[in-house]
């Protein structure tokens, strides 16, 4: 069958945690957005974290979350000569690795990009994949083009292996992120819904792609810090006919617990495995796309909402059935989304064509496109 040759793949991240010397000091290189959740995996396994190194002089000499010293590479090498360096920047992984090799023995640089195991471990993915292999195969058969089928195969392989090289091979390109220059190109009468507008990065892409103009933009963003950045993007790019909705897109209207953490801001679910500290949680308002539009038109909907995509789709069912908008929905936040989201959309509009693209060199930005 389609995926049978992938079933014996071993996960390199699981193997690392099983075999790593429990006494060797760990130095994380990079005090950026990916550090926190990678660090947590090491702390859970009681691996000895020595410090954090970063090239930014403004960070050096400070403490990360009042816990770990942030040092220059030189001071880190002097203080912990036998340490293993773990790179925490998925965006600049190869560049940092190459630079570290100029100063440090290659054996002391971990070759694994732990961001590739950011959302779920290889074992968890493999167990779910084996239990639902037939549904994955049906999704594969449902995909419209060969690029999509190869992308799904390659992404599954990468999640099973945990290897950055496999995610790099799975990447279908980063130049046309969200396909606004092709499949989702705006027209003069386009109404664009951006669910998870963040700092305006995709609003900006949409705006720049709208060479023939557009009618309006609705940007859903419940995080106050993100909204300030979004407003700055709107102002600095002279983006017109846009309304910011200070709520999250969901399957009901009400209030929910929420963590405000920038790129990882997310709704908190009672049954999730990792609960944030109580002082990091606020309440936000959520609403449905159907209630916001109230029967009105939308022809492009993008969803990147840290695992709430399925719920937001449920709250957009009337809109999707009535107007059949082009959809761009992230699949990589929850394991089950790989199959449950395509199944949900198929149940709403069976004639949708499905395309899949993987727009990164790590485990993020696997996006399902649905077009009527």
In order along its 372 residues, the chain shows pLDDT tens digits of 899 999 999 999 999 999 999 999 999 999 998 898 899 989 999 999 999 999 999 999 999 999 999 999 999 999 999 999 999 998 899 999 999 999 999 999 999 999 886 556 667 899 999 999 999 999 999 999 999 999 999 999 999 999 999 999 999 999 999 999 999 999 999 999 999 999 999 999 999 999 999 999 999 999 899 999 999 999 999 999 999 999 999 999 999 886 655 555 555 554 444 544 444 677 889 999 999 999 999 999 999 998 999 999 999 999 999 999 999 999 999 999 999 999 999 999 999 999 999 999 988 999 999 999
Q: How far is CA 351 from CA 40, 145, 347, in A?
A: 43, 15, 10
Domain boundaries, the chain: 12-117, 174-371
217 and 192 Cβ atoms separated by less than 8 Å: yes
pLDDT of residue 91: 86
Homologous superfamily of the 12-117 domain (CATH): NAD(P)-binding Rossmann-like Domain (3.40.50.720)
Torsion of CA 17, 20, 21, 25, to 10 degrees: -80
pLDDT of residue 120: 61
Q: Could you give the CA distance from residue 244 to residue 255 in angstroms, rounded to a whole number?
A: 18
Residue 355 forms beta bridges with which residues? 369
321 and 298 Cβ atoms separated by less than 8 Å: no
Antiparallel, parallel or unpaired: β 63-64 and 68-71: antiparallel
Residues 6+ apart with CB under 8 A from 213: 186, 188
Q: Could you give the CA distance from residue 247 to residue 223 in angstroms, rounded to a whole number?
A: 8
pLDDT of residue 282: 77
Half-sphere exposure of 62 (CA within 13 A, CB side): 10
Q: How far is CA 290 from CA 193, 249, 296, in A?
A: 12, 10, 8
Q: Could you give the CA distance from residue 313 to residue 320 in angstroms, rounded to a whole number?
A: 8
Antiparallel, parallel or unpaired: β 26-29 and 49-53: parallel
What sign does the dihedral 240-328-273-63 (CA atoms) show?
Answer: negative
Q: Could you give the CA distance from residue 64 to residue 75 in angstroms, rounded to a whole number?
A: 16
324 and 300 Cβ atoms separated by less than 8 Å: no
pLDDT of residue 260: 58
Q: Maximum CA pair distance of the chain? A: 65
Architecture in CATH of 174-371: 3-Layer(aba) Sandwich (3.40)
Q: How far is CA 120 from CA 14, 184, 303, 346, in A?
A: 11, 30, 20, 26
Q: Is 138 helix (H, G, I), strand (E, B) or coil?
A: helix
- 241 φψ region: left (φ > 0), alpha (ψ -120 to 50), beta (else): left
pLDDT of residue 193: 98
Q: Could you give the CA distance from residue 285 to residue 283 in angstroms, rounded to a whole number?
A: 7
Q: Could you give the CA distance from residue 231 to residue 203 in angstroms, rounded to a whole number?
A: 11
């Amino acid at each position: 069958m389609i995926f049978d040759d992938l079933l014996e793949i071993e996960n390199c991240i699981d193997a690392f945690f099983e075999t790593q010397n429990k006494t060797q000091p760990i130095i994380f290189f990079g005090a950026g957005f990916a550090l926190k959740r990678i660090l947590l995996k090491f702390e859970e396994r009681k691996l000895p974290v020595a410090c954090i190194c970063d090239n930014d002089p403004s960070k050096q000499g400070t403490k990360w979350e009042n816990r770990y010293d942030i040092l220059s590479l030189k001071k880190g090498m002097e203080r912990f000569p036998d340490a293993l360096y773990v790179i925490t920047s998925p965006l600049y992984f190869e560049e940092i690795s190459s630079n570290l090799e100029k100063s440090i023995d290659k054996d002391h640089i971990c070759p694994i990009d732990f961001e590739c195991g950011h959302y779920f471990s290889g074992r968890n993915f493999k167990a779910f994949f084996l239990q639902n292999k037939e549904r994955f195969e049906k999704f594969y058969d449902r995909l419209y083009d060969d690029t999509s089928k190869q992308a799904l195969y390659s992404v599954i392989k990468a999640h099973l292996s945990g290897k950055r090289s496999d995610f790099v091979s799975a990447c279908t390109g980063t130049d046309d992120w969200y396909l606004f220059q092709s499949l989702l190109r705006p027209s003069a009468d386009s109404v664009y819904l951006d669910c998870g507008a963040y700092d305006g990065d995709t609003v900006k892409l949409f705006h720049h792609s709208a060479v023939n103009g557009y009618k309006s933009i609705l940007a859903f963003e419940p995080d106050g810090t993100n909204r300030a950045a979004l407003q700055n993007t709107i102002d600095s790019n002279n983006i017109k006919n846009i309304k910011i909705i200070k709520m999250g897109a969901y399957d009901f209207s009400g209030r929910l617990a929420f963590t405000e953490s920038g790129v990882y801001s997310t709704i908190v679910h009672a049954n999730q495995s990792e609960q944030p500290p109580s002082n990091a949680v606020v309440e936000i308002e959520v609403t449905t796309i159907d209630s916001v539009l109230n029967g009105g038109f939308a022809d492009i909907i993008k969803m990147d909402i840290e695992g709430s995509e399925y719920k937001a789709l449920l709250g957009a069912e009337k809109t999707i059935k009535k107007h059949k908008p082009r959809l761009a929905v992230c699949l990589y936040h929850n394991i089950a989304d790989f199959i449950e989201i395509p199944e949900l959309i198929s149940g709403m509009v069976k004639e949708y064509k499905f395309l899949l693209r993987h727009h990164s060199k790590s485990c993020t930005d696997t996006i399902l496109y649905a077009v009527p």
